[in-house]
Amino acid sequence: MQKNETVIIGAGLVGSLLSVYLCKRGYKVKIYERRPDMRKADLVAGRSINLALSDRGIKALEEVGLMDEIRKICIPMHGRFMHNADGSTAYQPYGKEGQYINSVSRAQLNCKLMDLAEEHGAQIIFNQKCESIDWNKNEILLQDTGNQSLSTVHFNLLFGSDGAYAATRLTHQLQHNRFQYNQYYIDFGYKELNIPPGKNGSFLLEKNALHIWPRGNYMMIALPNMNGSFTCTLFFPFEGNPSFEMLDTKEKVTEFFKQTFTDAVPLMPTLEEDFFDNPTSSLVTVKCYPWIRDDKFALIGDAAHAMVPFFGQGMNCGFEDCSVLNSLIDTHNGNWKNILAQYQELRKPDGDAICDLALNNFVEMRDKVANPKFLLQKKIEANFSNKYPGKWIPLYSQVTFSPQIRYSEALVNGKKQEDIMQQVMALPNIDNCWQDEAIEKMIFEKMNA
């Protein structure tokens, strides 16, 4: 049996980053990862799934000095580029001048984080699947995914960063009285599709934007990749009309896309193959409690709080978990009982809040962004915020560009703002009088009420 100081299960985005934080503090870290080493397998050259990296994640990467490396594989996206059903397009900046989110390939980012983890001294052991944990003996049962052999490793300190369907969470849950577990699937799934690069690696759509085709009940989005391609994601009902279930032949898919995403279809030469070759995946929210066990175990990243991707915050939140945990090591002078207790106390409400915000944002992205009334509301908010920057930070900016505001605070602030804006939008003739001083005064009064 091996004796390890500190063990992490899962060398995904969060586990790899966490190991850097811990190695920098002198911990001897071993990471056990179920998959083979993706840097050796030809996974990166295949499908390119990309994510939006924003300020909370960037702050965490900067803290450990990794952001300069990561920036090299990022494409800034300054706003949403809407492709409306009537063929018109519109552009909405995400925030103020200079504020943007970043498109980054998940595989490239994960490979880079694993390289950096190893450079900092972490040891990653691949093809090792966590099966269960003996909490009395502090032993993890691992299965070699190649020859199926079983082994055990000892830990003093263990982190479960094994994703939304975490085995560490399950074994924690099964041996815990009154474990709270809430798992919620939405009726929509997603499928990845592709817009290849143009001639000489050119971008066939505006490069520095997140593209959205909002269609009421569903939507498609596209994020740019370094090679000039775009990864499109269709968020679509599993059943009903229209739905994945209905689009069961190549002809139906092509016909539906031609009618619905007219301007995208000519850019998608492999649409039919992609649609049937790529899986239809589900979207889950997971909330649970407790996240910790004494002074020896904590869940982190998706294992603690899986969310739907509509605020682009799952990874960013997981990176922020690492940053908060790191700051608590100083606060509690390395006393892990206190560190873990406060980590849970701080992060559980924030994890719950961003899970809720992410679910709410689906309606905004797929439907409201194409609605003139909603666009006017956003214009009034932006106008007010520009005039009084300290008084009103739009919810999107609080979540995406303001790491100093906790997710749980953003949720509360956002509800209050929405309530005020609903009253403003209900005023007669608001389309014409929105710039009047009386409107500004009303917003101020309601904010201070």
Ligand X SMILES: Cc1cc2nc3c(=O)[nH]c(=O)nc-3n(C[C@H](O)[C@H](O)[C@H](O)COP(=O)(O)OP(=O)(O)OC[C@H]3O[C@@H](n4cnc5c(N)ncnc54)[C@H](O)[C@@H]3O)c2cc1C
Q: 351: phi > 0 → left, psi -120 to 50 → alpha, else beta; which?
A: alpha
Q: Letter for the amino acid at 337?
A: K
Question: Which residue in the set 4, 19, 161, 400 belongs to the binding site for ligand X (CB under 6 A)?
Answer: 161
- Closest alpha carbon to 261 in 230, 301, 307, 291: 230
Interaction of residue 314 with ligand X, rule CB under 6 A: yes
129 near ligand X, judged by CB under 6 A: yes
> By CB under 6 A, is residue 163 in contact with ligand X?
yes
Between CA 30 and CA 296 the distance in angstroms is 15
Radius of gyration for the alpha carbons in the chain, expressed in angstroms and rounded? 23
Residue from the set 7, 8, 9, 221 that interacts with ligand X by CB under 6 A: 9
44/425 with CB nearer ligand X: 44
Interactions with ligand X, residue window 263-302 (CB under 6 A):
301-302
Greatest extent of the chain over all pairs of C-alpha atoms, in Å: 75
CA distance 336 to 341: 8
Q: How far is the CB of 402 from ligand X (least distance, A)?
A: 15
Question: Beta strand 128-134 with 139-144: parallel, antiparallel or unpaired?
Answer: antiparallel
- By CB under 6 A, is residue 322 in contact with ligand X? no
φ/ψ of 175, rounded to 5, equals: -115, 40
Is residue 140 within the footprint of ligand X (CB under 6 A)? Answer: no
**Do 82 and 214 form a contact (C-beta atoms < 8 A)?**
yes
Q: Give the nearest distance from C-beta 163 to ligand X in angstroms.
A: 3
Q: How far is the CB of 168 from ligand X (least distance, A)?
A: 7
Query: Strands 6-9, 157-160: parallel, antiparallel or unpaired by DSSP?
Result: parallel
What is the Cα–Cα distance from 56 to 33, expressed in whole angstroms?
25
> Does residue 394 touch ligand X according to CB under 6 A?
no
User: Is there binding between residue 189 and ligand X (CB under 6 A)?
Assistant: no
Q: With binding defined as CB under 6 A, does residue 109 bind ligand X?
A: no
Cross-strand pairs, 132 = 141
Token couple for 298? 């904590």
Considering the complex, state which of residue 64 and residue 420 has its C-beta at the smaller distance from ligand X.
Answer: 64
**Min dist. Cβ of residue 352 to ligand X (A):** 15
Residues 141-160 that bind ligand X (CB under 6 A): none
**Residues belonging to the chain:** 449
Q: Which of residues 44-63 bind ligand X (CB under 6 A)?
A: 51-52
The binding track of 11-30 with respect to ligand X, each residue x by CB under 6 A or -, is xxxxx---------------
Question: Is there binding between residue 211 and ligand X (CB under 6 A)?
Answer: no
Residue 346, helix vs strand vs coil: helix
DSSP secondary-structure letter at 369?
A: G
Q: Which stretch binds ligand X (CB under 6 A): 31-39, 63-71, 151-159, 338-346?
A: 31-39
| Contact footprint for ligand X (CB under 6 A) | 9-15, 32-35, 51-52, 129-130, 161-163, 167, 190, 233, 301-303, 309, 312-316, 318
